[in-house]
Structure 1
């Protein structure tokens, strides 16, 4: 369902009444309801005979016009209806009052009123307030069509008011987890508005740290631990709950031979739950320190979580070799090849151990 269809469900019950002459309404400003067809909701005309001025359900006509303008923008009489609404003194205040009344319990109705308000007066504040209401509606409904309308409205507003930071900020925020380049583009535009400068700066700094973190992970994966730590340590100081960052820092410390520091980081991670890669990394560090028995114990803990990891089994086998436990090593290497026939390391070791 698209957004237009979603809105049109609100006007399916509309009826039209026809006035045979121009009627001057007995309300403030004495606006004239010209001869023509006007929408009403059926509940408002039950029992009414629309013959005299006093019988015209003015409030219902105004309400129906507001709904029709918002829910069917291409309706043939909308320009006439907008022209009539503009002749009513205080119409904007009336619409805003209805928005405030309905925004919590009847958010869709509030959006409809806000949409017509922007049709009558498309200033940027009214348009942004409508978007805020759409955001509330999306939180309540989760409808994709509402999300699409929010994005379209934000883009249109940002295009019409290039120096207006608020729509650019929200667009940047939206794209943070979806398209980093788009996020940066919109947030840089938001820097031009003093109102959004500080928050946009914070998000851009967050993006910078994330990009630096990603580069640090690549450095670790390529074995350049010292370079990675220059990025990871400040990142962890700013994000002490960044468990993945702590893990990669531990790997980086192991790469530069600081096994004790690596183990400090890894043992800290165990406070947050069991992770096979953490147990395995502890095993590697313990083996590097010569504590092969404890290394085997931690490799086995990792293996309980990921029993088909031939790499962990090979590490166990190597530890048995270092302990002089040749038969245990052979069994472990054999198991690794059964699990992963393409494990060249295990096959190579089995060949070496045939005559031992």
Structure 2
């Protein structure tokens, strides 16, 4: 089911009464001309009218038109209903009153009335109020199609009012974990808003931190560990929960030869979550410090999770070589070569050990 069908089915609770000729009704001393056609009346209200042997009231017909207008955008007589409703004095105030009456006890009805209101007057505040109600409804029901409707409504609103702060803020929140560039674009429109400025600035700072982090990881992978550390150290101070950042700091320290510092970060990670990457990295640092037997222990831990990893097998081989255990060294290099027959480094080691 999609958004339209979800609300359209509410019209099933209405019966359409056919006027075979125009009808003049009065509402609060205001004369309203109803052309011939079909008019919706709430089924429950129809039953009450029948029980009490009364006639339809103008209010019943007006409520029905408002409801159908908001619930079914494809209904054939919508333009007629819009023209009739627009001629009723204070109709917007009446609909707003109904929205306020229902937003806590019947949010679905409140959304329908708000949808009707913006068909009569699409001012940005009315459109945004509908979006607020949709967000509340989504939070309560978690109906997936509501999110799509919210985003589409925000986009449509921003097409009409590109600088409207509330719409920019909420669509920016949506994009935060999906498209950082779009999130930044919309957040910048909120910086002049007293209501949204502080939160927008917080989001922009977080985005900047993420972008710097990504840059640091790229620098590290490109072979610039010192430059990466200049970004990662300040980053981890404000993001201590980022375990990946701590791992990359350890890698950077190893690459500049500061093995003890690398091990400090790796042991901290080991106490939180042991992974083959952390075990392998500890093994590398221990090996560089000359603790080959201990390094082998960690490499073998990593190997349990990644038994086909050529680099780990080779690392074990190198450690055994440095321990003068050439038989085991050759064994692990052969295992590595079995996994990757074209590995020239392994071939060279086996030649040296043969």
Q: Tell me if TM exceeds 0.5.
A: yes
User: Counterpart in 2 of 1:24?
Assistant: 25
* Aligned equivalents of 1:113, 1:48: Cα separation in 2: 23
Gaps of 5+ in 2: none
The two structures have a TM-score, normalised by structure 2, of 0.89
User: Counterpart in 1 of 2:316?
Assistant: 316
**Conserved 8 A contact 1:28-1:88:** no
User: Counterpart in 1 of 2:47?
Assistant: 46
SS in structure 1 opposite 2:252?
helix
User: Counterpart in 2 of 1:307?
Assistant: 307
Q: Does 1:157 align with 2:142?
A: no
Deviation readout 1:215-244 (Å, 9 max, x if unpaired): 100111122110001100111011010111
Structure 1 residues 192 and 31, CA gap change in structure 2 (3 angstroms): farther
- Where in structure 2 are the equivalents of 1:258-337 lying within 5 Å? 258-337=258-337
SS in structure 1 opposite 2:196?
helix
**Conserved 8 A contact 1:165-1:190:** yes
* Aligned equivalents of 2:201, 2:10: Cα separation in 1: 41
**Conserved 8 A contact 1:310-1:343:** no
User: Counterpart in 2 of 1:213?
Assistant: 213
SS in structure 2 opposite 1:195?
coil
SS in structure 1 opposite 2:65?
helix
User: Counterpart in 2 of 1:184?
Assistant: 184
* Aligned equivalents of 2:72, 2:222: Cα separation in 1: 58
* Aligned equivalents of 1:268, 1:47: Cα separation in 2: 72
- Where in structure 2 are the equivalents of 1:1-356 lying within 5 Å? 1-19=1-19, 20=21, 22-25=23-26, 28-32=28-32, 34-36=34-36, 37-46=38-47, 48=49, 54-86=54-86, 91-104=91-104, 106-354=106-354
Deviation readout 1:220-275 (Å, 9 max, x if unpaired): 11221100011001110110101111110111111111111111111111122111
* Matched residues, number: 351
SS in structure 2 opposite 1:236?
helix
SS in structure 2 opposite 1:55?
coil
* Aligned equivalents of 1:105, 1:335: Cα separation in 2: 69
**Conserved 8 A contact 2:25-2:58:** no
**Conserved 8 A contact 1:18-1:35:** no
SS in structure 1 opposite 2:39?
strand
Deviation at 1:5, TM superposition (A): 3.1
Structure 1 residues 222 and 31, CA gap change in structure 2 (3 angstroms): same
The two structures have a TM-score, normalised by structure 1, of 0.89
Deviation readout 1:65-107 (Å, 9 max, x if unpaired): 2221122335343244234445556544543444345445643
Gaps of 5+ in 1: none
* Aligned equivalents of 1:236, 1:281: Cα separation in 2: 19
* Aligned equivalents of 1:211, 1:115: Cα separation in 2: 39
* Aligned equivalents of 2:251, 2:272: Cα separation in 1: 18
* Aligned equivalents of 2:102, 2:340: Cα separation in 1: 63
Two-structure CA RMSD over aligned residues (Å):
2.5
Deviation readout 1:278-300 (Å, 9 max, x if unpaired): 11101101111111111111111
* Aligned equivalents of 2:29, 2:144: Cα separation in 1: 42
* Aligned equivalents of 2:232, 2:119: Cα separation in 1: 51
Deviation readout 1:156-182 (Å, 9 max, x if unpaired): 222222332111111222112222222
**Conserved 8 A contact 1:279-1:299:** yes
Deviation readout 1:314-348 (Å, 9 max, x if unpaired): 11111111111111111111222223334332222
Which stretch shifts more, 115-124 or 259-268? 115-124
